[in-house]
Amino acid sequence: MKITINAAQFGKIVKKILPSVPKSTPMPILENILFRFNEGEMELTATNLQTYQRITFRTEGEGKGHALIPGYMLSNLLNSLRGEINIKFTEHKMMIETEAGKYQISISREIGDYPDFPQFDGISNVQVTPEAIIEGLNSVKYAVENSNGMRPALESVLMEEKERGLNIVATDGHVLAKYVIPGNYGHKNILLPRDSVSVLEQFVSDIEDSFVGLFFDGKMIRVEKKDEVFLSRTIADKYPNYESVIPIDNEKTAKINKNKFLTAVKRLQILNQQRTDKVICTFSKEKLAISVVNEFTTNTARETIICEYNDEDIEILFNGFLLSETLSSFAGEEIIMKMKSPMTAVIIREPAGDNIALIMPLRG
């Protein structure tokens, strides 16, 4: 095989597929990209056994063959090269030549043990905009549990088809986030594994079409764009009835400038520097006082911001890290907080729309 290609172009293509190449795995073969070439058509495949990606494109070259090439090594080398490069293959080496140098990468021609690209027979198709998918996943992924396989359903993002919208939901039991993409989508639930979320976000980020199709077959989700395919296995588990934990009688309501609130929380957290920080939020007439007390030092801090609140005073303790992550997930300038008591789940939402977050207070 002999191939001529621009280094930057090839590097960009390899970078697209890297999210499905594990950096460390008990199966070293997965650290490679499966490379196939046939008279000018190049095909790259990568998988971590949870997500699968494939890219095909045309370039100048002759001959045909295949190889397993170390993914990150190839990417790093291509990123450092400029201009046109010539690629040749021997039985155990991939040789790259430029005007200034020659580089050899050890490869393998034994591809029989590399996982096959899964067969897919999806018939359920959801049409959404790429922007909606990215914003939805980005708004909830902070709430996905990280318990290393103890509760698979909570280590996933729920994509729930409803007659009035596609709900994207995540929860770890301490915080819950729900993002709604308006529309009529049917009645199917898909559990997308935590590690597949960022790969899907990256995959759809450069789709130029107005809509992207999400195809489901009960076990996998498939997304396509020109010359590229993304597949992810889904989790075969039942998602908890999250709607049952959303309070319906939180009548104490505060309207707050989200940016001022978030900035204050982040600034006060500097004095705590722990993920288990307690941030004290005290709501009183027309104002919100935010304070922290470091339990292991004498560090204290307090800020007060204006808010629309006219109910009885209430003081609620939050995990500062979770509160900061929750506030950051909202794109608008203002939020509504609906409360009942110091130990009842607090609902956070934007003034308009169906996107919400639920955060549990801490005990004093």
What confidence category does residue 6 fall into, taking pLDDT thresholds of 50, 70 and 90? very high
Class of domain 124-174+181-244 (CATH, top level):
alpha beta
**339-359 confidence digits (pLDDT tens):** 999 999 999 999 988 899 999
Lowest mean pLDDT among 34-43, 54-63, 145-154, 218-227: 145-154
CA distance 130 to 203: 9
Q: What is the pLDDT of residue 294?
A: 73
What confidence category does residue 33 fall into, taking pLDDT thresholds of 50, 70 and 90? very high
Residue percentage of the chain with pLDDT more than 90: 74
In the block, which residue shows the tokens 């607090």?
346
CB 33 within 8 A of CB 46: yes
Question: What number does CATH give the domain 246-359?
Answer: 3.10.150.10
Average pLDDT, stretch 126-150?
A: 89
Q: What is the pLDDT of residue 45?
A: 98
**289-329 confidence digits (pLDDT tens):** 999 877 777 788 899 999 999 999 999 999 999 999 999 99
Q: What is the pLDDT of residue 273?
A: 64
Lookup: tokens for 13: 């293509």
φ and ψ at 264, to 5 degrees?
-65, -45
Lookup: tokens for 72: 């990150």
Q: What is the pLDDT of residue 263?
A: 96
Average pLDDT, stretch 71-85?
A: 96
In DSSP terms, 67 is beta-bridged to: 35
Q: Domain locations in the chain?
A: 2-106, 124-174+181-244, 246-359
Closest to 137 in 3D by CA, of 25, 80, 224, 214? 214
What confidence category does residue 87 fall into, taking pLDDT thresholds of 50, 70 and 90? very high
- The answer to whether the 124-174+181-244 and 246-359 domains have the same CATH topology is yes
Q: What is the pLDDT of residue 300?
A: 85
Q: What is the mean pLDDT of the chain?
A: 92
More confidently predicted of 162 and 105 = 105
Q: What is the pLDDT of residue 271?
A: 80
Closest to 143 in 3D by CA, of 316, 325, 277, 356? 325
Lookup: tokens for 292: 């922290």
CA angle 124, 129, 132 (to 5 degrees): 105
pTM: predicted TM-score of the whole model, two decimal places:
0.88
Residue percentage of the chain with pLDDT more than 70: 97
Q: What is the pLDDT of residue 274?
A: 63
Lookup: tokens for 61: 């070259």
Class of domain 2-106 (CATH, top level):
alpha beta
**249-286 confidence digits (pLDDT tens):** 999 999 999 999 999 999 998 887 665 678 999 999 99
Q: What is the pLDDT of residue 276?
A: 62
Whether the pLDDT of residue 150 is over 90: the answer is no
What confidence category does residue 146 fall into, taking pLDDT thresholds of 50, 70 and 90? confident
Q: What is the pLDDT of residue 275?
A: 56
In DSSP terms, 95 is beta-bridged to: 88, 104
